[in-house]
Structure 1
Amino acid sequence: MLPGIKRIGFDLDGCLYVMRPEIEVELRKHACEKIVQHTGITYEEAKTDLDSRYRLHSSLKTCLQELGVTDPNEVARESLARANVEGLLEEAHEVRAVLRQLKEKGFAVDLITKNEEPVARRRLAKLGLLEEFGFAVAILSHKREGFLKWVELSRCSPSELFYVGDRVEDDVRTPRSLGINAALVDYSSAEPAFYDEKHGCWCINHLKELLSIGEKEAKRGKAVVGSV
């Protein structure tokens, strides 16, 4: 892990478990129903439209805003709360092992999620991760507020925090704008951990790669110094 880091925060959906197609369908079901009500198109048309927009924005709220759905933030929140994701989840043995290794190395691990606390607890329980986290910050509006709350609760400076998520806008750009380092996890990638200069973050294909970032960062630092 990077030098000076004390606490590592994790997103939930798409970070602590792989976002399989059937889970994505379940998470967007309520949003699709709202789109049908608002536009009068069929459910399948709403699903196709939402899927294409989500690939572009990676934000359910933004997609709903574009479609003119009333109160998109509330609809996005309801979609997360109503989705029966727990029925599609399995115990996350590898993720639990990584979290415990990080704690053994002296890092505290926290949860920063847009899910309401009861929803997050149900999903964590199904993943077998309920007892692994310190702080759990539930974000009911903008994710920026969640990161500010994390800084406040942890009593750490932003530079002592490190966040891991699966979306560039919410999980990389937002924390970095506050001085928090970040990593982007993409379980579909076969590429080993690398530093993305464009987004200013580490890109990993599994959470276990967090264990080797410190060594790779040291090598990267030497390479940067050598090129000056």
Structure 2
Amino acid sequence: MTLGYNTVGGGATKVIWAHSWLAGHEGYDGMIPFLDTERFTWAFPDFRGYGRSRGLAGDFSVPEMGRDLVDVADALGWDEFHLVGHSMGGQAAQWISGRPEARDRLSSLVLLCAVPSRAFPLDAEGSRLFEAATDDRDALATVISAVTGGRLGAGFVRRMNEVSRRTVAPAPMRAYLRTWTQEDVSSEVKGYQRPVVVFTGRHDPVLSAAVAKDQIVPQYTDVRSHVLDGAAHLPPMETPARTVALIEEHLLMGAEELSN
């Protein structure tokens, strides 16, 4: 079965957005007003276990996420499309870019605060906290505050907590936690020659620009990096208008130097 998804806009440039671990497509509602809907058509799928795909079972692996995203493009009739992979969704996006049957359809790749293809293991304390966050509201609030650098206040944390708990049940969230912290697909990420832009949040305490430079950028040849001022790990929620503007610039102009 195809993932549940919604689309925004009716433009000629087609874009699929792969969401983070914390929330499905609802987590991006705040940036919808800033999307260019005349030049772009945006698709927002929910991975299995999230949102509109909450009833879909699976193995919750990186390849499954990647295949499901390509199936969404098929369902939409999109022969070519751009792909934005945010956090956990970025790990799946990297896997797609290495698949010979898929990468020729991928016009460009945007990796936004992406988990490296080799996964991102947590230390013992981090593992306990993130595991607890799958079914404990207070632990989830601590995670949300931590990944945004403790900068955005109780209202932001409360809102993200509500969206996350409404979006995904504990069991799939635990399964995906094991995926993005343990599943190494880096050996399959090779051969992609089209433009890639790697965004990191200046205040991201974990998936920083240094991590991206070391673990993501070397996989690609036509690649640029950009640090998002004012953002940590959740730029679509923290700095939605600026994040949308920079992504659209990349999609329209390729991986040329982004304006500051």
With the shorter chain as reference, the TM-score category is 0.3 to 0.5
Higher helix share: 1
TM-score, length basis structure 1: 0.41
